Structure 1
Amino acid sequence: MFTSLFSWCVQGLLWLRYRVEVRGLERIPRRRGTLIMPNHPAEIDPVIVTALFWRRFTPRPVMLEDFYTIPGLNALFKVLRAIAVPNMEYGQSSFKLRRLEHSLESVITALEHGDNVLMYPAGRLWRQDHEVIGGASAMHMILQRIPDLPMVLVRTRGLWGSSFSWAFNNGRPSLAQAFGNGAKALLKNLIFFTPRRRVTITCEPAPPGFPRTGDKAAINAWLDAWYNAEGPDALTLVPYSLWSRTPPKIAQKGQAEEADLSRVPDAVKNAVSADIAKMLKCDPAAVSAGKSLRADLGMDSLQLAEVVWWLDEKFGVTEIDLNELTTVGAVMAIAAGGTAGGEAHIEPAPKAWRIGAHRPLPAVAPGETIQEAFLRTCDRMGSCPACADDLSGVTTFRKLKTGALALADVVRELPGERVGVMLPASVAADVVILGVLLAGKVPVMINWTLGERNLQHVVDASGVTTVLSSYRFIERLDNVELAPVEPMLVFLEEVRRDRITLGAKLKAAWHARASAGRLLARYPCSSCSGDDPAVILFTSGSENRPKGVPLTHHNILSNIRGALKAFPFSHRDVLYGFLPPFHSFGFTVSSIAPAVTGLLACHHPNPTEGRRLARGIAKWKPTLLCGTPTFIKGILRVASPKQLASMRYFVAGAEKAPDDLFDAVDRLGTGACVLEGYGITECSPVLTLNRPGDPRDGVGLPLDGVELRIVNIDSREPLPPGQQGLVLARGPNVFNGYLEADVAS
């Protein structure tokens, strides 16, 4: 009853803006287990088609997880029994492929049980004025399982140019903005007088000539021909106002740049043509530079992801967006070290990213634990910006505190005293780590690159039963095996949608107004001491199985205090963090240090993306960057001096810094310098650091409170200066011992 009433209401609202003409619906027989197959010219057509078919078929819509997980709408999609599928346009992973297989299995099961399903064969929004099924494989897979499947073909025309279309926005439309503009138009035109867009919808049962038993190419070619039987859909702009007949302006599309192949060696051109032909099992002569990978060669998202992997493997080219792979010529240009188009636009930092002279200097707040130091830092910093990344934008200390408190209430209910965290360098990682600590639990940082065997050891040694992560992050992981932790994954998107309700947000916001002292008495972390574990990190496992390293609050805070005494921070300093928090340097320096000192920080999730890191520096204008020499050299290799103009210090550690790294920074001519240090996970991690302004001297001097001695490896006798030996370290930053499971082994 509710859904029928809702369908009537939706159709009534659509009537206010759309004049829909339906052809052939009356000829469609009502049969259970029918697959409804529309084309996809705009983001609004799923609403129109679902409402049209609802009373007769009550179809279960298949939709991308990007839409299924939208807060607020997710409850409606559950009522509609929608089936979510992962978005394969942004890379692949074994986890993502398994979820795609599970989603398709859900579609097939629903059809076999008599449910009607609405699914888009192309699986993607129009980028041009006609349907391109390309290499999509879902229809072929379904028909292999259900050859006699009842099917209804649906052709929608008239939406190309709608504010919900790619044409209007010169890119994927923002649903919030499109619906908002529509609502304003209705109000401005007194609701009932809004100019209406003419839309035609043609429905037809799959005819006897449909190639049910054909291969993927035959099925997709037939569908392309049917959807485009009336030719390209005309670009139609409908005024928003009854009082003015001026059509709305569409986003201007820059002149498309053809890939410049003049400097691409013939060997590269031939290699690209040959390898793509090998992937597609076709003649290399058919793979010419002007061929569209999707429209002409029929490549789907999985095959394009294979091209991305191949470009990295064979040509060492990384940081490729699937949307860059438009033609064979674009692949040739990328393989040769060029780009498929012009230089990427660097968006400016948000206005909230301001550093005023009133900002307090970085200083470790008093406190025995990280939680206490963080809350006291929040009291001191107030509404000053705390951290930022491209996804979350700018987060103030007040907002960071509120988010951590809201998450702490959720984490408190999770089983066990240890909670796994598997996230890249990001604002989200900062919130999760602090939320776990405020809940009185210990974060176990999961290294997703360890491989299945070592990852299983991490699970067994730490005893974690829950791992906090993110759909968005895991979907972009390539060539990693997560089987040991997959059953334990709890996704932040689901937590935010299902567990952090409006009431929980209001409660956290109210509590965030309280002082550190009052909050410490209210939350379970009040019973923590400085000698309790603050985190469990794992060594890399390069020589043997990874070892669990518990670091106490005292270990980490003393290391940060020692670093601050060695480094002359100003109120204008900004840290750029990109090492993952499973790395000891990434955890202590990039995540914890800013939270307990007030140092402003910005993040990027992938340390291997030199070009994007360079653009991030140009955007956020950090002054301090911490990373391994390899990652820093990756940035310097592709960045211009202008992009790195804000940098003062490149802090290098975790591996020996080569002379050419120092030379490359000197050549920038910006006055920046490299500061090399040394440390290990067991020491929280920093032991030594070259001081700013001092002559370069190896890996520098020990931090305050750290004592070092070089001894003979066999006799443990002290060695005179200048001789090589075993390094012994003592200080408040040195851990107390490995996890029991690793000690026993």
Structure 2
Amino acid sequence: MNLSLRFSETVKEHGTKPAFIFEGNETSYLQLEGAINQFASSLTDMGINKGDHVAVVLGNSPYFVISLYGALRAGATVIPINPIYTPDEIAYIVNNGDVKSVITLDLLIPLFEKMNEKLPKLEHIITCETPPTDSKTDVDVTKLSIYTKMKGFTKMLSTGNPSFVGPELSDDDVAVILYTSGTTGKPKGAMLTHKNLYSNAIDTANYLKITSDDIVVTTLPMFHVFCLTVSLNAPLMNGATLLIVPRFSPEIAFELVKSYQATVFAGVPTMYNFLLQYDKAQPDDLKSLRICISGGASMPVALLKGFEQKFKVIVSEGYGLSEASPVTCFNPLDRPRKAGSIGTNIVNVENKVVNELGEELPPNHVGELIVRGPNVMKGYYKMPEETAHTLRDGWLYTGDLARQDEEGYFYIVDRKKDMIIVGGYNVYPREVEEVLYNHEEVVEVAVLGVPDPNFGEAVKCFVVVKDDKMTEDDLLEYCKQHLAKYKVPSSIEFLEELPKNTTGKILRRALKDQVLQK
């Protein structure tokens, strides 16, 4: 079984039911199935064969859902990419991922035009039409160097075969490659098979008791693995309805929950903080929700309790990572929820805490969290050494420090070494440091996470520069040109020199202590 086949089965049972609602317009399961087939058919006619890589550079929209399931049905491997990434970041993933076709918004045509010479393997650019806006400028595409590669999404749908039948898929075929930030500064592509994604979607759906009666607020970014499984694939496996939200805002979230009597909301702690702080919110605004799901970062206990007390809805915190498709733990719905815990094993997935030798530790001892199950990735794309280091004896070594209590509940003690989590997104210091080190005036740099009331953590930089006339604004502007918005430092502090140990290694802990003392 795989996502595509299961979706077709769901269509037979819930064909007339809304699969999703977007900007007030409903699309039934039967209509979505037809669009998926038409898009898959046109991809095949275009020359996308089984195993070819297709990048989806889109935000939350029907385009994303049709692109994802259409590409999977055609037998392609999907590579979701954050559309706010910089040209350098997108180009790296497209090239490293051997992408043959990109599906993106027409608004990003100028970006791909600039990158054209850097993308020699890219054969097709499928553009999704957006409504005219004041900020949208008309571009004469016939004069662009990428014009011969361009295809229109809408035309592909209109000419595709609604009865298309795709190639036979194996459980072990790679369905999706998710690029995660790498400790070396370059993203790693986690290869998730059809079995990985299907098993985690169906197990998550059943664990959270998602049924065709549920209406799920899909406001997390679809290109992120949290949304991909919990707010998109899992609901569609069991016939639920998605409320697709292009971008999160407290006002819109409250409005949609009340208007459609939504039953499930999933978000990162930052979203819950914004909802709690929203001054127009009333205690009964979320009364239709039967469950809220939190992940992406640890939720402060004070925030969790404050949210639950105000809105009278339970927040179930869980844990996952891209390499595990992603869910491994959730607080159970049929037993007490423990504040501060990521919960217990979901069905078919095993977590345990081990020491440096891989030996399981007794309760309440801190060690590395490792995971085993049908959801664990095949490996990193074109990175055998990284794969061998992360996958050992059938276990995925997460790099996260955790403990387990006597009742089987897990607690994350610390995140991967030095990793910064900004609003649920992972930022590795090395990636930001590499960018700053490319600036001709920067001598040394150290990056670390500091507490932030809105996003959990923020990126802070300490730098040593050659020219004392260099300003914080100068370096921030430079970072904005080379990094996605959430990776850009919130502040940059200039130092005469960075603290180091006797071997010359920069002492991050000393810098962190300095920040905390202020």
TM-score of the two chains, using structure 1 as the length reference: 0.45
Cα offset, 1:646, TM superposition: 1.8
Cα offset, 1:741, TM superposition: 4.7
Contact 1:710-1:718 at 8 Å conserved across structures: yes
Contact 1:386-1:594 at 8 Å conserved across structures: no
Contact 1:412-1:440 at 8 Å conserved across structures: no
Asked if residue 400 in structure 1 is aligned to residue 42 in structure 2, the reply is no
Contact 1:442-1:536 at 8 Å conserved across structures: yes
Residue from 428, 436, 461 that aligns with 2:96 = 461
Contact 1:385-1:600 at 8 Å conserved across structures: yes
Residue from 656, 665, 684 that aligns with 2:298 = 656
Residue from 254, 258, 266 that aligns with 1:614 = 254
Asked if residue 495 in structure 1 is aligned to residue 152 in structure 2, the reply is yes
1:539 equivalent in structure 2: 180
- Distance between the aligned counterparts of 1:470 and 1:423, measured in 2? 7
**What is the letter of the counterpart of residue 350 of structure 2?**
E
Cα offset, 1:497, TM superposition: 4.5
**What is the letter of the counterpart of residue 694 of structure 1?**
R
CA gap of 1:640–1:488, structure 2 versus 1, over 3 A, is farther
- Distance between the aligned counterparts of 1:586 and 1:711, measured in 2? 29
**What is the letter of the counterpart of residue 389 of structure 1?**
F
- Distance between the aligned counterparts of 1:645 and 1:475, measured in 2? 43
- Distance between the aligned counterparts of 1:401 and 1:498, measured in 2? 17
Cα offset, 1:647, TM superposition: 1.7
Asked if residue 441 in structure 1 is aligned to residue 441 in structure 2, the reply is no
Deviation readout 1:241-291 (Å, 9 max, x if unpaired) = xxxxxxxxxxxxxxxxxxxxxxxxxxxxxxxxxxxxxxxxxxxxxxxxxxx
Deviation readout 1:426-465 (Å, 9 max, x if unpaired) = 2221111111111121111112344343322211221013
Contact 2:292-2:315 at 8 Å conserved across structures: yes
Asked if residue 371 in structure 1 is aligned to residue 4 in structure 2, the reply is yes
Asked if residue 711 in structure 1 is aligned to residue 357 in structure 2, the reply is no
**What is the letter of the counterpart of residue 702 of structure 1?**
N
Cα offset, 1:686, TM superposition: 0.3
Contact 2:211-2:235 at 8 Å conserved across structures: no
Cα offset, 1:541, TM superposition: 4.3
**What is the letter of the counterpart of residue 408 of structure 1?**
A
Cα offset, 1:667, TM superposition: 3.0
- Distance between the aligned counterparts of 1:530 and 1:567, measured in 2? 24
Please give the secondary structure, in 1, of the residue aligned with 2:67: helix
CA gap of 1:380–1:410, structure 2 versus 1, over 3 A, is same
Contact 1:461-1:741 at 8 Å conserved across structures: no
Cα offset, 1:691, TM superposition: 1.3
Q: How many equivalent residue pairs?
A: 354
2:196 equivalent in structure 1: 555
Contact 2:39-2:156 at 8 Å conserved across structures: no
- Distance between the aligned counterparts of 1:542 and 1:448, measured in 2? 22
- Distance between the aligned counterparts of 1:533 and 1:430, measured in 2? 18
Contact 1:378-1:397 at 8 Å conserved across structures: yes
1:432 equivalent in structure 2: 67
What does 1:172-211 correspond to in 2, within 5 Å?
none
Deviation readout 1:269-327 (Å, 9 max, x if unpaired) = xxxxxxxxxxxxxxxxxxxxxxxxxxxxxxxxxxxxxxxxxxxxxxxxxxxxxxxxxxx
Deviation readout 1:188-218 (Å, 9 max, x if unpaired) = xxxxxxxxxxxxxxxxxxxxxxxxxxxxxxx
What does 1:629-708 correspond to in 2, within 5 Å?
629-638=269-278, 639-669=281-311, 671-697=312-338, 698-708=341-351
Contact 2:211-2:238 at 8 Å conserved across structures: no
Percent same amino acid at aligned positions?
27
- Distance between the aligned counterparts of 1:475 and 1:461, measured in 2? 21
- Distance between the aligned counterparts of 1:742 and 1:546, measured in 2? 14
**What is the letter of the counterpart of residue 540 of structure 1?**
S
2:228 equivalent in structure 1: 587
Contact 1:676-1:690 at 8 Å conserved across structures: yes
Give unpaired runs (5+ residues) of structure 2. 130-150, 388-518
CA gap of 1:476–1:720, structure 2 versus 1, over 3 A, is farther
- Distance between the aligned counterparts of 2:41 and 2:205, measured in 1? 32
Residue from 357, 372, 375 that aligns with 1:733 = 375
**What is the letter of the counterpart of residue 291 of structure 2?**
Y
- Distance between the aligned counterparts of 1:732 and 1:644, measured in 2? 35
Runs of 4+ in 1 over 4 A off after TM superposition: 474-477, 481-488, 741-745
1:410 equivalent in structure 2: 42
Please give the secondary structure, in 1, of the residue aligned with 2:352: strand
**What is the letter of the counterpart of residue 371 of structure 1?**
S
- Distance between the aligned counterparts of 1:383 and 1:463, measured in 2? 38
Please give the secondary structure, in 2, of the residue aligned with 1:678: strand
What does 1:167-566 correspond to in 2, within 5 Å?
368-390=1-23, 393-416=25-48, 417-471=52-106, 474=108, 489-493=125-129, 495-501=152-158, 504=159, 507-508=161-162, 511=163, 523-525=165-167, 527-541=168-182, 544-566=185-207
Please give the secondary structure, in 2, of the residue aligned with 1:594: helix
Please give the secondary structure, in 2, of the residue aligned with 1:699: coil
**What is the letter of the counterpart of residue 375 of structure 2?**
N
- Distance between the aligned counterparts of 2:303 and 2:46, measured in 1? 45
CA gap of 1:426–1:732, structure 2 versus 1, over 3 A, is same
Greater helix percent: which structure? 1
Please give the secondary structure, in 1, of the residue aligned with 2:60: coil
Question: Does 565-574 or 483-492 show the bigger shift?
Answer: 483-492
- Distance between the aligned counterparts of 1:677 and 1:744, measured in 2? 26
Contact 1:559-1:684 at 8 Å conserved across structures: yes
Deviation readout 1:601-631 (Å, 9 max, x if unpaired) = 1111223x33223323233331111121112
- Distance between the aligned counterparts of 1:425 and 1:743, measured in 2? 34
Please give the secondary structure, in 1, of the residue aligned with 2:318: strand
- Distance between the aligned counterparts of 1:587 and 1:568, measured in 2? 17
Contact 2:196-2:374 at 8 Å conserved across structures: yes
Contact 1:556-1:588 at 8 Å conserved across structures: yes
- Distance between the aligned counterparts of 1:543 and 1:640, measured in 2? 46
Contact 1:425-1:586 at 8 Å conserved across structures: no
- Distance between the aligned counterparts of 2:184 and 2:329, measured in 1? 24
Contact 1:370-1:534 at 8 Å conserved across structures: no
Cα offset, 1:679, TM superposition: 0.6
- Distance between the aligned counterparts of 1:644 and 1:410, measured in 2? 42
- Distance between the aligned counterparts of 1:498 and 1:427, measured in 2? 15
- Calculate the aligned-residue CA RMSD, in Å: 2.7
- Distance between the aligned counterparts of 1:642 and 1:487, measured in 2? 52
Contact 1:414-1:466 at 8 Å conserved across structures: no
- Distance between the aligned counterparts of 1:744 and 1:694, measured in 2? 38
- Distance between the aligned counterparts of 2:305 and 2:210, measured in 1? 24
**What is the letter of the counterpart of residue 241 of structure 2?**
L
